[in-house]
Amino acid sequence: MHADGFAAPRRVPLSVAALRWPRTLFARLALILCVGLALAQVLSFTLTVTERDDATATMMTAYIAREVAISVALLDHLPAAEREAWLPQLARRSYFFILGPGTPGEPPEAHRSKSVASAIASGLGDKYPLTSSAVPGTGERLQIHLRLSDGSPLTIDYRPPPALPMSGWLPVVLAAQLAVLAVCCWFAVRIATRPLHELARVADALGPDLKAERLEEDGPSEVARAARAFNAMQQRISAHVAERMQILAAISHDLQTPITRMRLRVDQMDDEAQAGKLTQDLLEMEQLVKEGVAYARTLHGTGEAPRRVDLDALLDSLVCDYVDAGSPVTFERRLNVAIVTRVQALRRIVGNLVDNALKYGNTAAIEVSASPQDKTVTISVLDSGPGIPDEALEKVFEPFYRLETSRNRGTGGTGLGLAISRQLAVAMGAQLTLRNRPEGGLEGRLVLPGADA
Ligand SMILES: Nc1ncnc2c1ncn2[C@@H]1O[C@H](COP(=O)(O)OP(=O)(O)OP(=O)(O)O)[C@@H](O)[C@H]1O
Ligand SMILES: [Mg+2]
């Protein structure tokens, strides 16, 4: 604070952030085009006005020189006594004559005065030697002093006329031109950026079911070409992935038969201890193979059509199955909402989360909540187990990724449960995430669209 009570003016540095380059391509192109065209427009306007003023000044100077020469010749021919009476008629808007020596002063400096003085001098010729002086005071003022043939002094007093006024409609026309330019810029930039939006939208829509939406292959040739290339790329990706999934599905499927044969053979073995261990290994292999087939299927799209279901009823029946089998699973808060969803896929996702909660956290509690604004329903599966280290919360969604602590026989899984669930969730347009609860344990959270109150 200053002594006088005013806060010291804060120096606001003209930071780079204040002049930040806009982030969107639309804004950048629009800015470049609008600023460039507006500058060009203002420049050409300035050039026109300057040219007009220069041309008018040149014409006026030539006119003054001619008129002054005629007037001086007339005054020279008149008897000295009659000259005074003619002065008002010889005066013009920018100059008048004085029968006298005028005001002495320095030679003129101003460009306009100098050019008028030299034009008058050349108009009068050698007959009347003259001197010119700038009259001190407000505004530009020039006096040209000469002597007539009888020796009497004559002064021409010149004041540059005010610049030609600009006509009232010129700024309006300029503003209208700028407005037309702005509209054209907006239109051009929109044409240029729209295909990019469309491309991003379609690329985002390419889900795990690989059912790609095709881009329209029309429009300007560059856009059509990019759309063709993009569509072809989508098709290639779909074909590659589908081929790999078929191989995975085929191997997983075909492995089931030899595994079944091996189990039959194990049953006939004499060494019971070894047979038990082998059976356990074979069961694990069978599980792995089943999960492999399931994963391949989910990647290929479930093909299940969305149905409208009562969420409470669906979760109740799921929980009942677990409770009947003696598992500690609870489902308390009821919501009374209906959702449009793929029921089998939803059962599978929640089932996988509950399986994990039971396997790694010993208990599972299901909670639901709804957000009417964005028409979503959130299903949370909570446990009070050890949770997952923060850095692995995303990694566990990768196929076959299991935490080191899970690599024991007791909790032996294949590491595909969450990968399958994530694939299904994406295919349903839902979001599946995990987070460690502050009070301990893990929360698997599924946010589903399509909720009706
Ligand atoms: N509720 C949980 N608490 C702690 N760790 C978990 C929990 N859920 C998953 N994990 C960890 O994430 C890993 C991946 O889980 P995912 O369900 O994909 O595979 P899995 O349970 O090991 O096998 P699968 O489900 O295929 O039988 C698990 O191995 C486990 O380490
Ligand atoms: Mg699991």
Res 4: pLDDT: 44
Query: Is the four-CA dihedral 243, 244, 247, 248 of positive or negative sign?
Result: negative
Could you tell me if the CB of 360 is within 6 A of ligand 1? yes
The rounded Å distance from CA 343 to ligand 1 centre is 22
Would the pLDDT of 155 be above 80? yes
User: H-helix or E-strand containing 436?
Assistant: strand 431-436
Res 62: pLDDT: 93
Res 208: pLDDT: 62
Could you tell me if the CB of 302 is within 6 A of ligand 1? no
Cα 249 versus chain centre, distance: 43
Mean pLDDT of 250-271: 85
To test the ligand 1 pocket, which listed residue (283, 286, 360) has its Cβ within 8 A of the most ligand atoms? Answer: 360
The rounded Å distance from CA 301 to ligand 2 centre is 20
Residue closest by Cα to atom 7 of ligand 1 = 356
Res 5: pLDDT: 42
- How far apart are the C-alpha atoms of 335 and 310, rounded to whole Å? 10
Residue closest by Cα to atom 19 of ligand 1 = 415
Could you tell me if the CB of 388 is within 6 A of ligand 1? yes
Atom of ligand 1 nearest to the CA of 287: 27
CB 38 within 8 A of CB 178: yes
Band the pLDDT of 220: cuts 50, 70, 90: confident
Could you tell me the two tokens for 403? 């935490």
- How far apart are the C-alpha atoms of 152 and 65, rounded to whole Å? 21
Res 393: pLDDT: 94
Please give the backbone phi and psi of residue 69, each rounded to the nearest 5 degrees, phi first: -60, -45
Mean pLDDT of 237-251: 82
pLDDT digits (tens, 9 = 90+) for 170-215: 888 888 988 898 899 899 888 888 888 888 888 887 766 666 788 8
* Residues contacting residue 427 through CB under 8 Å, at least 6 positions apart: 207, 208, 209, 298, 301, 302, 342, 345
Band the pLDDT of 96: cuts 50, 70, 90: very high
Could you tell me if the CB of 113 is within 6 A of ligand 1? no
CB 416 within 8 A of CB 291: yes
To test the ligand 1 pocket, which listed residue (284, 358, 382, 396) has its Cβ within 8 A of the most ligand atoms? Answer: 396
Average pLDDT of the chain is: 85
Could you tell me if the CB of 356 is within 6 A of ligand 1? yes
pLDDT digits (tens, 9 = 90+) for 23-72: 888 888 888 888 888 899 889 888 988 898 889 889 999 999 999 999 99
Please give the backbone phi and psi of residue 267, each rounded to the nearest 5 degrees, phi first: -60, -30
Could you tell me if the CB of 415 is within 6 A of ligand 1? yes
Reduced DSSP (H G I as helix, E B as strand, rest coil) percent helix, strand, coil of the chain, to 5: 55, 15, 30
Q: What angle do CA 187, 191, 194 make, to 5 degrees?
A: 125
Give the whole-number percent of the chain exceeding pLDDT 70.
91
CB 113 within 8 A of CB 142: yes
Measured over all CA atoms, what is the biggest interatomic distance in the chain, rounded to whole angstroms?
A: 157
pLDDT digits (tens, 9 = 90+) for 323-354: 998 999 999 877 888 888 888 889 989 999 99
Res 68: pLDDT: 93
- How far apart are the C-alpha atoms of 416 and 295, rounded to whole Å? 7
Ligand nearest, relative to CA of residue 422: 1
Atom of ligand 1 nearest to the CA of 419: 18
Band the pLDDT of 8: cuts 50, 70, 90: very low
First-to-last alpha carbon distance for the chain, in angstroms, is 58
Would the pLDDT of 168 be above 70? yes
Ligand nearest, relative to CA of residue 357: 1
Res 228: pLDDT: 93
Res 299: pLDDT: 66
Res 140: pLDDT: 87
CB 381 within 8 A of CB 366: yes
- Determine how many CB atoms are found less than 10 A away from the CB of residue 130: 16
User: Which of 74-78, 162-166, 241-245 is most confident?
Assistant: 74-78
Q: Domains in the chain, start-ordered, CATH in brackets?
A: 26-158 (3.30.450), 207-301 (1.10.287.130), 304-452 (3.30.565.10)
Q: Phi/psi zone of residue 15: left (φ > 0), alpha (ψ -120 to 50 degrees), beta?
A: beta
Res 19: pLDDT: 66
Could you tell me if the CB of 441 is within 6 A of ligand 1? no
Ion ligand 2, residues whose Cβ is below 5 A away: 356, 413, 417
Res 338: pLDDT: 87
